[in-house]
Amino acid sequence: MRSGQSGVDIQRAFRRIGRNWGLYLLLLPAVVLLLLFTYIPMYGVIIAFKDYSPVLGITGSPWAGFKHFEKFFQSYQFELTIKNTLYISLYSFATFPIPIIFALLVNQMRQNWFRRFFQTVTYMPHFISTVVLVGLMLILLSPGNGLIGNLFRLFGAEAPNLMGSAGWFSSVYVWSDVWQQTGWNSIIFLAALSAVDPSLYEAAKVDGASRWQNIWNIDLPMLMPTAITLLILRVGGLLGVGFEKAYLMQNNLNITGSEVISTYVYKVGLLSAQYSFSSAVNLFNTVINFILLIMVNRISRKYSEQSLW
Amino acid sequence: MVFPKGFTLDGYKELLNHANIWIGYKNTILYTAVGTAIGLAVNLSAAYALSRKDLFGRKAITLFFIFTMFFNGGLIPTFLTIRDFGLYDTFLVMVLPFAVGVFDIIVARTFFQNSIPADLWEAAQIDGCGNLRYYLLIVLPLSKAIISVLALWIAVGHWNSYFNALIYLNDKDLYPLQLVLRNILITNQMQSNMGTGEAAEIAMRLANLLRYSVIIISTIPIMCVYPFVQKYFNQGVMIGAVKQ
């Protein structure tokens, strides 16, 4: 009886799939690519618990338990990379309100041509590649013949070596990001602001509200859902300082301030071929991020009725 | 020294002596063109399918996509997989394996849901139009805004990325522009500040001019594309990005 029932269910499912077979065909390329290049590597992550040898392959290599994790926790790079990664993340996290403030300001601009000009100018840095950005910073921030060096010399002072000191690394990293992404990141908030019902402003005008009151009572609440969603995503990436820029900015002089988890994973993994150890470090990072994301999402759902899923 | 002085094209002349820059330029154009075409085809199709409420298993398939945003195998397992498939050091590795952009799919899916009326599909169905024909002949022509935006995103991503090339390429003839730039702008920067005397001074001046020139020629093309797409960056497209 029961098996007959499920047989009918399966038949019905097949009929529903068959009716829209074209849609599944459209999905196929993306699904196959994800299976091959994202889900298979997810299985491959088991080498973090093995002693990987290229000859034996992923499945054939002997198990090693938590050996590589323990090795990482006991190494001096553990404290260093975690500290740097967290510090840079939190620093960058603190700049989160800047695009929101930026969007609120742009939204106040009344001259249309000026507004468009201003937006285009502030979006442009987003299109500069990381390589070019870091190259520019090396040129401009050089204490010898860069802009900074010359400016300091103009006042008869010694310029700090911004690109070559561990202490300055996080500031240079975060503020160059702010310079490059503020305009771009504000787009999404501007979009949310453009959805404000104009009658709200009219009602506020009737009540004699000032500009600041408008921003505080109408604009800001309008941005909250978008801001919270982005905030949750940001927290989920708290232990993930991107590889691309950190690696390019890294040199022997600033290494104690610039070694983050992602650059460390690359170095021990690909440059010195400790595949299993590197995977373990990477997995540790991913798991922490995943837990953070789920926790923050849960807290947010409880207190603001906003969540990712 | 804070203000510019004089005008010279020496840097650009110096560019002509560096063959690897032009090989990189050619490679980047190829990767960007092919990569954007593949990316658009793969992501738009998936996004459209997921936008249809009558897709059986829609929730599970969406989860299959979203999950990869938050969890992945990491650098080494991905590297080993690519190598096992024989894709290491090939043209294909730069355009195919990472073509799926889940964020792009979500944005496009929201666009399709909001701007393609559901009645349209019902009407087309009555006229005997199948899913594929409907997607290609009706949905896509109505979706120029989202196609332009995604094309810009994907193209900029390909033009500017150096990570995949750094990991998956070894052959210098396959290097994209950004990897060549990295050598000129960053790796050589440390060495060039050494030496004294007039000859060293001239060499340094030329090296700096070369740096400025490559920055210009590598950045101008991608910036030129943006104004054409700007008009599509209105609320309709962007709001969908985070809402649901």
DSSP string, A248-295: HH--TTTHHHH--HHHHHHIIIIIS--HHHHHHHHHHHHHHHHHHHHH
The CATH number of residue B131's host domain is 1.10.3720.10
Query: Rounded to whole angstroms, what are the CA distances from B157 to A127, A136, A293, B40, B219?
Result: 9, 19, 26, 13, 13
* B2 in any annotated domain: no
Average pLDDT estimate for A99-125: 87
pLDDT, one tens digit per residue, over A228-265 is 888 887 777 667 778 889 999 998 888 999 999 999 99
Q: Is the pLDDT of residue A276 over 90?
A: yes
Question: What's the pTM value of the predicted model, to 2 decimals?
Answer: 0.87
* Residue B213 contacts A where some CB pair is shorter than 8 Å: no
Q: Is residue B101 part of a domain?
A: yes
pLDDT of residue B244: 40
Distance CA B44, CA B146 (A): 9
Range of B133's domain? 10-239
Asked, for residue B68, whether it belongs to a domain, the answer is yes
pLDDT tens digits, A183-227: 888 888 888 888 788 888 888 888 888 888 888 888 888 888 888
* CA–CA min distance B215, chain A (Å): 6
Lowest mean pLDDT among A41-55, A144-158, A288-302, B44-58: A144-158
Chain A: closest CA distance from residue B5 (Å):
14
- A177 confidence band (pLDDT: 50, 70, 90): very high
**B244 is a domain residue:** no
Record: contact A22-B135, CB cut-off 8 A: yes
Q: How many domains does chain B have?
A: 1
Half-sphere exposure for B12 (CA within 13 Å, toward CB): 6
> What single DSSP character describes residue B1?
-
Handedness of CA B226, B228, B234, B240 (dihedral sign): negative
Residue B235's pLDDT is what? 47
CA distances from B111 to A116, A193, B240 (A): 24, 18, 7
Question: Is there a domain that residue B5 lies in?
Answer: no
A49-58, A150-159, B3-12, B200-209, range with greatest mean pLDDT: A49-58
Q: Report yes or no on B112 lying in a domain.
A: yes
Q: Is residue B19 part of a domain?
A: yes
What ranges in chain A are assigned the alpha helix state H? 2-19, 21-34, 40-44, 57-60, 67-74, 76-94, 97-108, 112-123, 130-140, 147-154, 166-194, 198-206, 211-214, 220-236, 243-249, 255-258, 261-266, 275-304
Segment A119-164, tens digit of pLDDT? 888 888 999 999 999 999 988 888 877 788 888 888 877 778 888 8
Taking CA–CA distances from B46, the nearest residue in chain A reads: A27
Closest CA–CA distance from residue A19 to any residue of chain B (Å): 9
Instruction: Identify whether B4 is part of a domain.
Output: no
Residue B121 touches chain A, beta carbons under 8 Å: no
Which residue in A has a C-alpha nearest to residue B40's C-alpha? A30
Q: Give me the DSSP letters along B210-231.
A: HHHHHHHHHHHHHHHHHHHHHT
Q: Quick check: B169 contacting A, CB < 8 Å? A: no
Structure token digits, residue B35: 């990569």
